[in-house]
Amino acid sequence: MTSIVDDTNQVGSAHLVFYPLLFITSVLWLIHRWQQQSRFFKLGNVLPGPAGVPFFGNALLAFGKKPDQLVDIALGYAEQYGTVIRAWLGSKLIVFLLDADDVEVILNSQVHIDKAPEYRFFKPWLGEGLLISTGPKWRSHRKMIAPTFHINILKSFVGVFNKNSKSVVEKMCSEVGKTFDVHDYMSTATVDILLETAMGITRKTQDESGFDYAMAVMKMCDIIHQRHYKFWLRFDAIFNFSSFFEQQKNFLNIIHGLTNKVIKSKKETYFENKAKGFIPPTLAELTRDDDNVLATDNKTLSDTVFKGYRDDLDFNDDNDVGEKKRLAFLDLMIESAQNGTHQLTDQEIKEEVDTIMFEGHDTTAAGSSFVLCLLGVYKDVQVKVYNELYEIFGDSDRPVTFADTLQMKYLERVILESLRLYPPVPVIARKLNRDVNVVTNNYLIPAGATVVIGTYKIHRSPKYYKDPETFNPDNFLPENMQNRNYYSYIPFSAGPRSCVGRKYALLKLKILLSTILRNYETTSAVPEKDFKLLGDIILKRSDGFRISIEPRKRVPINLGINKKKTTQ
């Protein structure tokens, strides 16, 4: 008797669960079917890509995977599906573009300039700064900021680059004979250089707050990286309850506190000087062409490499007015805002300074670390770099001049090749506001999709590079570059939203790396094939940038005797 009652109760409760479940599943199934019939889904599904499951699409592929495993998965799909690959993250369409012709359609456009929603993680830090802003705001700020990176301004930073490079050499002295992670040194040097060139301050002039600021910038980069590759931290609801949220709040207090303080004091100084009748040179004066020092044949290799997509950084730079008083980016922005050339609020200035600090930091730290590791592997290349430097400097330890950097042709090829194989920004993501037809199969990508440009993969395409996986600085010999598609080399992106700090980065890298290599020989015990890459917003090595160093004897190296090639 009891058992019949129990059975009846069980059947009843089974029905209570079964029917609502059936109902929910049916509704979800109908939504799924309806979605699949929409134009957006139909167009998305025309594109080649892995099969997904209802509602999740391909999102489960990333679940439980480590960042370096994700890199392998993504690269595997590229082999399987070609140069246009579709993936669904739930109902979100992501389209990967891996061919230079398709990439040109996006990067060269004045329409497809909006950043993907993932860039929102930067918002609490960078606000509406140049990296994430869009529309008229981005246009007007870009117009104001691009000239502050004019070569005349950059030349005035040579002293700062030298001073900090020398300081790294001194600090690295304690590592002689040991194996250490060179990224730590590159990161610290980069933040110090940025503090001076972007804000016009040093750690010392700011006492403790300068040190705290530098540390907070590095830690904030780390938190944003974590949000990108720890899937669950992407959701604000989860992130806001994690320990990262509190840390982020503290770091942002430090960062914004110092930026605000410096802007306030710089403005006070500006008005004090103005009252005394001293008005700093305007941006227009600093970038005027009234001299002809930088003749066309003295242009750097990178000027040629990037000439295919001349942009607002190239305007006016065929000439040079020589050394002028050094003004940090912040000074230039305050001056522009005060003299009425540009309407910039203090908040906007703060956001732009913070953006430069972020963009300029991790990118160049990773870029220089990869060069030092690669030279530690390919000793024959390092010998050539060293001999070129010896020809320029002999056994002197004098600082680098701007003219010296123009002579560093081989080092420049090494830097460009390193940025090819290990582009610090391995992908660029854009949100499409309009449908776009790409060149490959004339595929139509619908508005609303996120387009991911696979810089890393394009740089390794056999279509553009002979032996693409091999480290070969001669890829940037003029004869090897002349017929190559410009969009096959995009470490700094290209077009209207290209990197505004490109020339700054290359000048700084040349001074920093040449100073280190004049003083030390680097060795990497890890061959290139064993570099473990971290699929992040900034490409790094998960195994660390480990090298060892030995002091140089400051004599030219005879290639025949010292050729210790370790090419694999």
The response to whether 499 counts as a known ligand-binding position is yes
**How far apart are CB 521 and ligand HEM at their closest, in Å?**
23
Is position 428 an interface residue for ligand HEM (rule: CB under 6 A)? yes
232 close to 238: Cβ distance less than 8 angstroms: yes
Q: In this structure, what are the phi and psi dihedrals at residue 521, rounded to the nearest 5 degrees?
A: -100, 130
Only one of the segments 39-47, 53-61, 363-371, 373-381 lies at the binding site for ligand HEM (rule: CB under 6 A); that segment is 363-371
> If residue 201 lies in a helix (H) or strand (E), which one and from where to where?
none
The encoded tokens of residue 498 equal: 């290209």
Among residues 291, 347, 300, the alpha carbon closest in space to that of 141 is found at 347
- C-alpha of 496 from chain center: 16
- Binding residues for ligand HEM, rule CB under 6 A, total 22
Only one of the segments 10-18, 28-36, 84-92, 420-428 lies at the binding site for ligand HEM (rule: CB under 6 A); that segment is 420-428
Long-range contacts of 264-269 (CB under 8 A, 24+ apart): 266/200, 266/330, 266/331, 266/334, 267/334, 267/338, 267/346
Is position 425 an interface residue for ligand HEM (rule: CB under 6 A)? yes
**How far apart are CB 236 and ligand HEM at their closest, in Å?**
21
Query: Residue 311 or 521: which CB sits closer to ligand HEM?
Result: 311
What letters, b where the CB count within 10 A reaches 16 and e where it falls short, cover 393-423? Answer: beeeeebbebebbbbbebbbbbbbbbbbbbb
Query: Residue 362 or 388: which CB sits closer to ligand HEM?
Result: 362
Query: Residue 93 or 500: which CB sits closer to ligand HEM?
Result: 500
Query: Residue 229 or 393: which CB sits closer to ligand HEM?
Result: 229
Q: Which of residues 489-528 bind ligand HEM (CB under 6 A)?
A: 491-493, 497, 499-501, 504-505
**How far apart are CB 564 and ligand HEM at their closest, in Å?**
28
x/- track of binding to ligand HEM for residues 133-172 (CB under 6 A): ---------x------------------------------
426 close to 452: Cβ distance less than 8 angstroms: no
The encoded tokens of residue 12 equal: 């009843």
Distance CA 489, CA 468 (A): 12
Residues comprising the chain, all counted: 568
Only one of the segments 5-13, 88-96, 272-280, 354-362 lies at the binding site for ligand HEM (rule: CB under 6 A); that segment is 354-362
Distance CA 172, CA 190 (A): 15
**How far apart are CB 20 and ligand HEM at their closest, in Å?**
45
Number of residue whose CB is nearest ligand HEM: 501
Is position 214 an interface residue for ligand HEM (rule: CB under 6 A)? no
Distance CA 470, CA 305 (A): 19
**How far apart are CB 40 and ligand HEM at their closest, in Å?**
24
Query: Residue 456 or 520: which CB sits closer to ligand HEM?
Result: 456
x/- track of binding to ligand HEM for residues 366-395 (CB under 6 A): -x----------------------------
Distance CA 515, CA 282 (A): 32
Strands (DSSP E) contained in 186-310 are: none
The annotation places the binding site for heme at: 499
Residues at the site binding ligand HEM, with contacts judged by CB under 6 A:
130-131, 142, 355-356, 359-360, 363-364, 367, 424-425, 428, 491-493, 497, 499-501, 504-505
The annotation places the binding site at: 499
